[in-house]
Amino acid sequence: MTQELSEDILYDTIIVGGGPAGLTAGLYCARAKLNTLLFERGTLGGQIAITDLVENYPGFPEGISGKELIGRFKEQAERFGLRVVRKEVSRLERVGKEIFLHLRTGELLRSKTVILTVGSNPRKLGVPGEEEFINRGVSYCATCDGALFDGVPIAVVGGGDSAAQESLFLTRFASRVYLVHRREQLRAQKHLQEKVFSNQKITFVPNKVVEEIRGGDFVEGVLLRDTRDNSLSQLPVEGVFIFIGLEPNTVFLKGSLELDDKGYIITDERMRTSLEGVFAAGDCRRGATGQVAVAVGEGCIAAIEAERHIEERF
Ligand code: NAP
């Protein structure tokens, strides 16, 4: 695959990022017989690939694992000829009518259109001990690391859908899951909250922030501060799972096109960014909802708009 990449080819569409939005855009572009490449620097699927169970994507009444869902997306897109390339795009610019993409490995590629579906990454707490204990008790992925915490108490930090859903998953392994949230109430969907509060293995710890993650070779506990009276307390746990939201993977786009103050790509309703010929879809776009169904819809719109752009401009 790699040897086929060439500066001499003017591709129709290059998609950057292989999550639900990117693979859907890829499916539509490939079916439209556009000469399309999809670049993915890490694991296909992004956040959804590490989600244990997706229950709200239509068509799967029993739910489906994120990994399996992504596998199906990929299979379907590749059946129509989408080419997936494991490389990282480091910069893009518009030169005349074309978009130039610079790869981390030094190659330059040219395309008529680009669809950015770079998604987002877990936000960090930024407290002492967090970096130090990554892979030694601190984790951002329950599906990846949950089984390592069999029979021991753990803390989950956050109050959104991810914290609630992953707390439920982690009860399969941990002896107790302390769900630590900085507010009185969770913001997770009601049906997830109901499941959390009826689970005997989950203890909700409201109005607390993590001040520090402590331990020796591995995590041994967290220092909590009460948000109402600032009192400190210790919670003895052997694992800390952090689910406090996401940050868009858009640092490499700074200066190339318009981002909002949080780094999300600004588009119009046709998924057009401020750089002509460049479209964006999914969780990297301003207004992201973190829903696979939305990412899929936006990926579809971006592909249709890219095709239209090619017809009108080339
Ligand atoms: P989120 O909805 O942004 O929630 C982040 C949570 O972390 C909030 O409760 C927030 O507290 C808390 N938080 C943020 N910064 C913090 C800090 N520094 N210290 C302590 N707590 C902090 O993030 P998410 O749960 O990862 O979800 C991301 C998106 O994916 C959402 O749109 C969500 O709906 C979607 N998602 C959907 C599903 C599903 O449909 N089943 C599953 C997972 C995720 P505050 O409440 O105080 O702001």
150-179 per-position pLDDT tens digit: 999 999 999 999 999 999 999 999 999 999
Is residue 104, in this structure, part of any structural domain at all? yes
Write the pLDDT tens digit of every residue in 119-148. Answer: 999 999 999 999 999 989 999 999 889 999
Q: Choose one of 69, 143, 162 to mutate for the ligand 1 pocket test, by most ligand atoms within 8 angstroms of C-beta.
A: 162
The pLDDT-based confidence of 50 (bands split at 50, 70, 90) is: confident
Nearest to 305 by CA among 28, 3, 19, 18: 28
Question: How many Å lie between the centroid of ligand 1 and the Cα of residue 48?
Answer: 15
Active site residue 300: no
Q: Whose CA is nearest to atom 40 of ligand 1?
A: 291
Is residue 132, in this structure, part of any structural domain at all? no
Domain limit, last residue, from 242, 263, 282: 242
* pLDDT of res. 73: 97
Asked if pLDDT for residue 4 goes beyond 80, the answer is no
* pLDDT of res. 209: 98
Ligand 1 shell residues, CB under 6 Å: 56, 125, 157-163, 165, 182-183, 187, 209, 243-246, 289-291
| Side-chain half-sphere exposure of 139, counting CA atoms within 13 A | 24
Question: How many Å lie between the centroid of ligand 1 and the Cα of residue 188?
Answer: 8
Partners of 213 in beta bridges: 222
Write the pLDDT tens digit of every residue in 34-47. Answer: 999 999 998 899 88
Asked if pLDDT for residue 1 goes beyond 80, the answer is no
Across 47-61, 77-91, 123-137, 268-282, least confident range: 47-61
Is the CB of residue 249 less than 8 Å from the CB of residue 118? yes
Asked if pLDDT for residue 27 goes beyond 90, the answer is yes
More confident residue, 13 or 3: 13
Residues 117 and 251 grouped into a single domain = yes
Q: What are phi and psi of 265, to 5 degrees?
A: -75, 130
Residues 281 and 217 grouped into a single domain = no
Is residue 273, in this structure, part of any structural domain at all? yes
Query: Given the DSSP bridges, would you call strands 138-139 and 219-226 parallel, antiparallel or unpaired?
Result: unpaired
The CATH number covering residue 27 comes to 3.50.50.60
Asked if pLDDT for residue 90 goes beyond 50, the answer is yes
* pLDDT of res. 267: 98
Note down the domain range covering 97. Answer: 10-121+246-313
| Number of independent structural domains in the chain | 2
User: What is the pLDDT of the chain when averaged over all its residues?
Assistant: 96
* pLDDT of res. 47: 85
Residues 309 and 207 grouped into a single domain = no
Asked if pLDDT for residue 3 goes beyond 80, the answer is no
Percent of the chain with pLDDT over 90: 92
Asked if pLDDT for residue 266 goes beyond 50, the answer is yes
* pLDDT of res. 108: 96
Domain limit, last residue, from 191, 222, 242: 242
Per-residue pLDDT, averaged over 78-101, amounts to 96
Q: Is 94 helix (H, G, I), strand (E, B) or coil?
A: strand
Q: Which atom of ligand 1 is nearest to the CA of 244?
A: 7
Among 12, 29, 52, 145, which one carries the catalytic annotation?
145
pTM, entire model: 0.86
Residues 111 and 146 grouped into a single domain = no
Q: Whose CA is nearest to atom 15 of ligand 1?
A: 244
Per-residue pLDDT, averaged over 81-101, amounts to 96
Question: How many Å lie between the centroid of ligand 1 and the Cα of residue 104?
Answer: 31
> What's the Cα-to-Cα distance from 282 to each of 18, 264, 269, 298, rounded to whole Å?
11, 10, 12, 6
